[in-house]
Amino acid sequence: MSGFTIIRLALRSLWARRMTALLTILSIATAVMLFAAVESIRQGARTSFERTITETDLIVGARSSPINLVLYSVFQIGNPTNNVTWATYEEIAARPDVGWTVPISLGDSHRGYRVVGTTDAYFAHYRYGRSQEIALADGVLFDDLFDVVLGAQVARELDYRVGTTLTLSHGLGATSFVNHDDKPFRVTGVLAPTGTPVDRSLYVSLGAIEAIHMGWQDGTPTPMSRLATPERLRQMRLTPESITAILVGAKSRVQTLRLQRDLNRYASEPLQAVIPGVALSQLWNIVSVVERALAAIAGFVVAVGLIGILTSILTSLNERRREMAILRSVGAKGRHIVALLVSEASLLAMIGAGLGIALLYGGLALFRPLLEARFNMGGIARVPGLYDLGVIAVVTGVAACLGLIPALLALRRSLADGLSVRF
């Protein structure tokens, strides 16, 4: 009696009870799909998170905490503590080991979305995901002082398109009492979705940030500001006194650490330089509690599914006493009875887990365009990997162990029943 024959018997027996077997398989499939999905999306989310900004070697800002700097300069969360002077910016940009710099000026918003004052260099050097560039979905980049470029989500949620005019608000809150409504902006371009905070930002030139604050003092307009009409401002050379942060690309990667050290010890003003990747993974570790909670919940779902297998086999045992007695009568040994029920449990689990993984990757393939565009989840795996095979193996293994319970019960009963077929 080979193991193969036992598995064939188990398959036949399952087929004869295919309705219940199918339901059990479906419950395991759903559980495993959920479990693997949590893991897959967790991995995808982590990769996408850590690839929110790539190829920028350092982010430089006023001294606070590295995470804070990354939060306000990249994620548009929280407030900058202090600014960096324009003189310092120019000095850094001129360093021989610096390849490129992008100035960022924050502090204004539009209906809760933050406005980033920057230069064309931002669009030239900002990279996310696998070195993807920011692309325009519609229109052109800002050219005039009062031009604005919208992130994809801003345009979608507020239903703006090229040509729409809007006004900015002072401050970063969703509602502001101080508005720049005397200086309306015109949308010249809408960016393609990236799945990063870029989608939630509005981009104007550095000069525009200067222009709308012309004649302001300490965050409030003075009567002087009325003199600064758009026409006049267009004639002026608007150079900011200070900016919020700088994105820096080193000439060569190996110089990054030295450059970081130099900037952190900057003599004329207190600066900090942060390697985005390092700060991002520190940041991720803070949110990983949630991720672990999710994984734990998914684990429990799988456990429930496995208990479902156990239940379905245990309930089937009573009506299968006859089957066991017949098998015993034709020479099935005790271990054959055990093997039959253990392989039945394992088969249910294996088929269920396999189906769950297949459903997951089918679903991911179906929703991939959406995941990539909205959540920058290009990093999500396309085909089942070792981890998924591991999940199938572990689920099958645990089911086999659980299958021992009904198996030993059936063995004991078959000994008590002997060779008589009872009801």
Partner 1 sequence: MSAEPVLSLQDVTFGYAPGDTLIDIDRFCVAPGESVFLRGASGTGKSTLLGLIGGILVPRSGRISLCGTDLTTLSGAKRDAARVDHLGIIFQQFNLLPYLSVLGNAALPCRFSARRRRRLDMSPDTAARKLVTALGLTDRELDRPVSELSVGQQQRVAVARALIGGPDLIVADEPTSALDHDNRDRFITLLDAQRKRFGSSLLFVSHDATLAGHFDRAVDMAELTGPEKAQAA
Q: Minimum distance from CB of 331 to partner 1 (Å)?
A: 2
**Residue 254 vs 416, nearer CB to partner 1:** 416
| Burial profile 118-146: b = 16 or more Cβ within 10 angstroms, e = fewer | bbeebbebbbbbeebebeeeebebbeebb
Q: Minimum distance from CB of 311 to partner 1 (Å)?
A: 21
Q: Does 169 engage in binding with partner 1 (CB under 8 A)? A: no
Q: Minimum distance from CB of 132 to partner 1 (Å)?
A: 56
Q: Which two tokens stand for residue 312?
A: 């379905």
Report the residue from 336, 353, 372, 378 that binds partner 1 according to the rule CB under 8 A: 336
Q: Minimum distance from CB of 330 to partner 1 (Å)?
A: 5
Place of tokens 């309306």: 184
Residues 6 or more apart whose Cβ sits within 8 Å of residue 236: 211
Q: Minimum distance from CB of 315 to partner 1 (Å)?
A: 17
| Residues linked to residue 161 through DSSP beta bridges, in sequence order | none
Q: Does 412 engage in binding with partner 1 (CB under 8 A)? A: no
- Asked if 104 and 126 touch (Cβ cutoff 8 Å), the reply is no
The secondary element (H helix, E strand) that includes residue 123 is helix 120-125
Q: Minimum distance from CB of 350 to partner 1 (Å)?
A: 19
Amino acid at 336: H
Residues 310-329 that bind partner 1 (CB under 8 A): 322-323, 325-329
Angle between helices 276-319 and 66-73 (to 10 degrees): 90
Span interacting with partner 1, options 81-89, 271-279, 333-341, 349-357, rule CB under 8 A: 333-341
**Residue 239 vs 329, nearer CB to partner 1:** 329
Report the residue from 254, 286, 330, 386 that binds partner 1 according to the rule CB under 8 A: 330
Give me the torsion for CA of 91, 92, 96, 102, rounded to 10°: -120
**Residue 20 vs 167, nearer CB to partner 1:** 20
Report the residue from 206, 298, 306, 332 that binds partner 1 according to the rule CB under 8 A: 332
Q: Minimum distance from CB of 328 to partner 1 (Å)?
A: 6
Distance, CA of 84 to CA of 151 (rounded, Å): 25
Distance, CA of 214 to CA of 227 (rounded, Å): 9
**Residue 202 vs 327, nearer CB to partner 1:** 327
Q: Does 420 engage in binding with partner 1 (CB under 8 A)? A: yes
**Taking the CB of residue 286, how many other CB atoms lie within 10 A of it?**
9
Q: Does 270 engage in binding with partner 1 (CB under 8 A)? A: no
Binding mask 358-397 for partner 1 (x = CB under 8 A): ----------------------------------------
Reduce the secondary structure of 297-365 to three states and give it as a string: HHHHHHHHHHHHHHHHHHHHHHHCHHHHHHHHHCCCCHHHHHHHHHHHHHHHHHHHHHHHHHHHHHHHH
Binding mask 9-48 for partner 1 (x = CB under 8 A): ---xx-xx--------------------------------
Span interacting with partner 1, options 71-79, 348-356, 365-373, 413-421, rule CB under 8 A: 413-421
Residues that bind partner 1 (CB under 8 A): 1, 5, 12-13, 15-16, 322-323, 325-336, 414-415, 418-421
